[in-house]
Structure 1
Amino acid sequence: MPTLQPKKKLVIFASGSGTNAENIIKYFQHSNKAEVVALLSNKRTAGALKRAHDLGVKPLLFDKEAFYNSHDVLNLLKDMQPDLIILAGFLWLLPPGILQQFSGKIINIHPALLPSYGGKGMYGSKVHEAVIENGEKESGITIHYVNENYDEGKIIFQSVVQIDKNDTAESLAHKIHEQEYEHFPKVIQQIIEEKL
Structure 2
Amino acid sequence: MINIAIFASGSGTNAEAIMRHFEGSTRGRVALLLSNREDAYALKRAEGFGVPTAVFTREEFGEPGGRVASLLQEHGIDFIVLAGFLWLVPHYLTDAYAGRIVNIHPALLPKFGGRGMYGDRVHRAVIEAGERESGITIHWVNERYDSGDTIFQATVAVDADDTAETLAAKIHVLEHRHFPTVIEETIAGLPPIDTKQNTK
Runs of at least 5 residues in structure 2 that lack an aligned partner in the other structure: 191-200
Q: Which of residues 109, 130, 153 is equivalent to 1:114?
A: 109
Equivalent in the alignment of 1:161:
156
3-state SS in 2 of match to 1:77:
helix
3-state SS in 1 of match to 2:26:
coil
Q: Which of residues 33, 39, 42 is equivalent to 1:45?
A: 39
Compute the displacement of 1:54 (Å).
1.1
Of stretches 141-150 and 28-37 in structure 1, the one that deviates more from structure 2 is 28-37
Equivalent in the alignment of 2:173:
178
Native 8 Å contact 1:109 1:144 kept in 2: yes
Q: Which of residues 13, 25, 29 is equivalent to 2:23?
A: 29
Compute the displacement of 1:135 (Å).
1.2
Quote the Cα distance in structure 1 between the aligned partners of 2:42 and 2:169.
19
Native 8 Å contact 1:11 1:82 kept in 2: yes
- Tell me how many residue pairs correspond in the alignment: 189
Compute the displacement of 1:194 (Å).
4.5
Compute the displacement of 1:9 (Å).
0.7
Equivalent in the alignment of 2:52:
58
Compute the displacement of 1:84 (Å).
1.3
Alpha-carbon displacement from aligned partner over 1:10-45 (angstroms, at most 9, x marks no partner): 110000000000010001001122110010000011
Q: Which of residues 70, 79, 82 is equivalent to 1:75?
A: 70
CA-based RMSD of the aligned residues comes to 1.2
Alpha-carbon displacement from aligned partner over 1:129-165 (angstroms, at most 9, x marks no partner): 1111111100000000000000000100000111111
Q: TM-score, normalised by structure 2?
A: 0.91
Quote the Cα distance in structure 2 between the aligned partners of 1:75 and 1:99.
15
Compute the displacement of 1:75 (Å).
2.5
Q: TM-score, normalised by structure 1?
A: 0.93
Runs of at least 5 residues in structure 1 that lack an aligned partner in the other structure: 1-6
Quote the Cα distance in structure 1 between the aligned partners of 2:35 and 2:96.
19
Compute the displacement of 1:124 (Å).
0.6
Amino acid in the other structure paired with 1:99: T
Q: Which of residues 165, 188, 197 is equivalent to 1:193?
A: 188
Alpha-carbon displacement from aligned partner over 1:63-103 (angstroms, at most 9, x marks no partner): 11111136211222133332210000000001111111111
